[in-house]
Chain A
Amino acid sequence: MIDFAVFSITIIAVWSVLAISLHLQFGLTGLVNFGQVLPFAVGAYGTAFAAAHGLPAWAGAGIGVTLAPLLGLLVILPASRLAQDYWALVTLGAGEIFRLTMLNVPVIAGGDEGTSVYRFQNADLAMVLALTLLLVTLLFARRVGASPLGRMLRVLREDEVLAATLGRNPFRLQRMVTAASWVMAAAAGVLYAHVTGYISPSSFTVLETFVIWTAVVLGGPSTITGVLLGTVIVQLTSVSTRFVAQWSGLPSDLVANLRLGAYGLVLILVFLYRPQGLIPERKLRYDADRL
């Protein structure tokens, strides 16, 4: 039971980092990244590449965390100066292309069969590392969100032209947000690889992107507490799938499908009945009368 709790906390922490990364991109800046799984996969595959080629684990982590923001800047290049429809399409396509590359080029990290990587033998250590990473990202995101930078990112979310006429370069800010949040997601990917000990393309489909989106939309994309709450809810249903299947006697395949269906339903219902999510953005009040 304790083992399960430790594992669950580790997994929730990893996915919380992904959710905070999406919070920075979508919740604050309004960037519709439908390829959020890409930086996560890049982190994981950096690790897998190192393992498959006999490089040390730190080198794999380094590759993943450096490559992700560079790739991010490359991916958003065609989408900058275009509407968010195109942004969504480009990021979605990039995520799928990365997965297909890993699937079809076995030299990188085993292709369809995947690669085994070093797995943390000590589950507690894994949990502590995951929580540390979560804490760092959380503090970073909080600092950004509550700063003048966060304010300008929100302006970008509302109206890019306004930001530009006020003398800001929207694309510089978008690049900055993308680089920073993709580093986070890649770090989460590195950790995820070492927690599960095995990496294959099927863990990084576009559906994973929407598991992150469900958590973020459900909790409230514009607040950190919101995305954390959403992730806890979504990931608890995810890690408990096995138990639900055992307990109900239904095939686990069916339970997994029902879970995915429930995520879809959540996305729909939240937008219909509570578009700001469970925890809406709080109003920042200032004393205007002070002299």
Chain B
Amino acid sequence: MLTVCDLSVSYGRFQALRSVSLQAAPGSILGLIGPNGSGKSTFLNVIAGVQAVASGEVRLDGTLVPLGLPERVAAHGIGRSFQTPRLAHRLTVFQNIMIGARPQAGERLRSLFLQPATVRRREADIQDEARSVLRRLDLSHKANDYAGMLSGGQQKLLSLGMLLMGHPRVLLLDEPAAGVNPVLIERQINLLKELRAEGRIILLVEHNMEMVCGVCDRVVVLDSGAVIAEGDPDAIRRDERVMRSYLGEPA
């Protein structure tokens, strides 16, 4: 269970988040919607530890998640993808997938030189897993292309694959469907459903309402940094207040 309690963030006088609280259970997809600038990305950044300034707390299965330290947050099994995918552009797709695996014995100087056999074994395992993740994403044919050469949609799939290599319990996805063609959106939707069936917690920030309604179990609506509505997708769709804030006009 992911529990977020009273999260607040401000830049100067501007309040980006006003004591936001929410909960998400394992095996569920929680949609996060709201107009631009409503604090969705800030919210993901804070949970992922990329953004430091915050009051409030985040707990995963009761354990306090340290805020402001992305490398420690990742160790708690929380992974974040970015709206503009962050990839190592001058490494291949296959290498990008592999860097998601953690821990890697071969990243320590000591084991690199003193335990070459361990390093080799771990590396072989990582390669096997990378192959299966690539197949799952249907990106095997791109394995040896530079990540920077992929289309926007493929890059989003790749960054999702990179996250999966770290076996996250919580996935924070920032607009995975934005600027992606319908075929790849369909593939992502199927993937998200599979991940939910595996018992992971997924927080999905997305503008594409079809995707949100298609996969989310529950939807939280943010406006000006505060939660203004929460419920199942259909109820949210019928909520007049939400539609007004979101679309700027009565539904």
B-binding residues in A (CB < 8 A): 143-144, 147-149, 151-152, 154-155, 158-159, 161-162, 164-170, 173, 176, 180, 281, 283-286, 288-291
Contact = CB atoms under 8 A, between A and B. Distances in A.
B205 to A, nearest CB: 15
A154 to B, nearest CB: 6
A152 B144 contact: no
A289 B71 CA distance: 32
A166 B91 contact: no
B117 interface: no
A290 B131 contact: yes
Contact of B89 (A147, A158, A281): A158
A149 B94 contact: no
A166 B119 contact: no
B113 A143 contact: yes
A281 B90 CA distance: 9
B74 interface: yes
Contacts of B94: 286, 288
Contacts of A154: 88, 90-91
Determine the interface band of chain B, counting residues with CB < 8 A from chain A: 35 or more
Contacts of B74: 164-167
B160 interface: no
Contacts of B113: 143
Interface stretch (B29-37, B56-64, B100-108, B212-220): B100-108
Contact of A288 (B49, B122, B134): B134
A283 B71 CA distance: 28
A167 B71 contact: yes
* Chain B facing A: main interface SS: helix
B70 interface: yes
B99 A286 contact: no
Interface in B94-145: 94-95, 98-100, 102, 104-109, 112-113, 119, 122-123, 126-127, 130-131, 134, 140-141, 143-144
Contact of B104 (A148, A161, A169, A290): A148
B52 to A, nearest CB: 11
B86 A159 contact: yes
A151 B92 contact: no
B108 A149 contact: yes
Given A149-B108, A161-B70, 4 more contacts: A152-B99, A158-B89, A165-B79, A290-B131
Contacts of B107: 147-149, 152, 168, 173
Contacts, number: 108
A239 B90 CA distance: 36
A158 B166 contact: no
Contacts of B140: 288-289
Nearest to A291: B131
B131 to A, nearest CB: 6
Nearest to B48: A165
B123 A148 contact: yes
A149 B106 contact: yes
Given A176-B109, A288-B131, A165 B92 contact: no
Given A161-B70, A162-B88, A180-B109, A151 B144 contact: no
A159 B89 CA distance: 9
A151 B95 CA distance: 8
Contact of B144 (A155, A169, A283): A283
A180 B113 CA distance: 13
B90 A158 contact: yes
Contact of A162 (B87, B90, B166): B87
A164 B78 CA distance: 12
A168 B106 CA distance: 13
Contacts of B22: none
- Kindly name the residue among B70, B130, B144, B162 whose own CB sees the greatest number of chain A CB atoms within 10 A: B70
Contact of B86 (A165, A283, A285): A165
B75 interface: yes
A131 to B, nearest CB: 21
B5 to A, nearest CB: 22
Contacts of B48: 165
A148 B79 CA distance: 20
B86 A161 contact: yes
A289 B90 CA distance: 22
Contacts of A161: 50, 70, 86
A236 to B, nearest CB: 30
Contacts of B143: 286, 288
A161 B141 CA distance: 28
Contacts of B131: 288-291
